[in-house]
Amino acid sequence: MEEYRHRLMDYVREEIMPHRFCTGCGCGTVLNAFVNAVEGVGLSPAKMVCVSGIGCSSWIPSPYFRSDTLHTTHGRPIAFATGVKIMRPDLTVIVIAGDGDVAGIGGNHLIHAARRNIDLSVFMVNNMIYGMTGGQVAPTTPYGVKTSTTPHNNVEPAFKVAELVMTAGASYVARWTTYHVFPLMESMQNAIRKRGFSFIEIVSQCPDNYGRRIGLRTAVEFLHQFKEKAVRIDKTAGMSEAELADRIIIGKLCDRERPEFTAELHALTRRIVAALKQEQPA
């Protein structure tokens, strides 16, 4: 048994493997890509804090990734992560949570963290539904899909979360699917290295609670669909909105330099403390 050990098992809490994700769940692939990315960056898990919320994908860092983790209340992982980063700017703070958490319930935290451009890496696993609680409609559920709370049809259009975060002012934004694992892994490395708010939307499969409602019962069918629907962002220039409506735009949406929040905040604090000391000599 020892000789077959996976080379990255040191990064995973091996004692609780196999994990509890359903057969073919995309969360497992995201965990795999994430662990590979952390190894690729050469980051020690001792220098990381992973923050997650409630939902299947929040189980990726907590309990399966072997670092310090904060498993927080529903929708608040970015709020908690902001606190961690401000108090410990030396640590790499990573948020892995689902679409219901980050874009639904915690949507306001997301846009304001992007606006502040705080140095967090947020990996949002978008399975397009509230999977853990039984397949209720989420803000990322596509138009016209039947879910357990929209048994006839979903009449709301889906959120384009990556575009929203880019507009809000994040430093690095990308979107990939669980089929595009190699670019996803590279993108995660870039996001971890990037100073500023970096966000990756990972379109993922949920065969058990979403797939069975839309006729994709296995992970294989899902990945084939991701492969067919994905279109690289550099190939979208000549395409109309109607053509792109049913497609998944993948690739790097933006990579730019903007002032980072914690650095600005700590510089300001130092300046004020120095000024006060000059005013009132001890």
Partner 1 sequence: MIEIDEHLCKGCDICIEFCPLKVFEKSEKLNRKGYYVPLVACEDECVGCRLCELLCPEFAIIVTNE
Contacting positions for partner 1 (CB under 8 A): 4-9, 12, 17-19, 21, 23-29, 31-33, 36, 178-179, 181-182, 185, 218-220, 223-224
Pick from 36, 55, 120: which is nearest to 82 by CA? 120
CA angle, 136 then 226 then 168, to 5°:
70
Q: Are 139 and 125 in contact (CB under 8 A)?
A: no
Smaller CB separation from partner 1, 35 or 81: 35
Q: Are 232 and 243 in contact (CB under 8 A)?
A: no
Pick from 35, 26, 169, 38: which is nearest to 99 by CA? 26
**CB 197, min distance to partner 1, A:** 26
3-class DSSP assignment, residue 123 = strand
**CB 190, min distance to partner 1, A:** 17
**CB 100, min distance to partner 1, A:** 20
Smaller CB separation from partner 1, 12 or 114: 12
Smaller CB separation from partner 1, 25 or 110: 25
**CB 21, min distance to partner 1, A:** 7
Taking every pair of Cα atoms in the chain, the longest distance, rounded to a whole number of angstroms, is: 74
Pick from 264, 234, 228, 134: which is nearest to 174 by CA? 234
Smaller CB separation from partner 1, 7 or 152: 7
Smaller CB separation from partner 1, 22 or 265: 22
**CB 20, min distance to partner 1, A:** 11
Smaller CB separation from partner 1, 84 or 219: 219
Q: Which two tokens stand for residue 195?
A: 């100073």
**CB 77, min distance to partner 1, A:** 22
DSSP string, 48-59: EEEEE-SSGGGG
Smaller CB separation from partner 1, 33 or 84: 33
**CB 40, min distance to partner 1, A:** 11
Q: How far apart are CA 272 and CA 278, in angstroms?
A: 10
| Beta strands at 198-203 and 172-177: parallel, antiparallel or unpaired | parallel
CA 69 to chain centre: 15
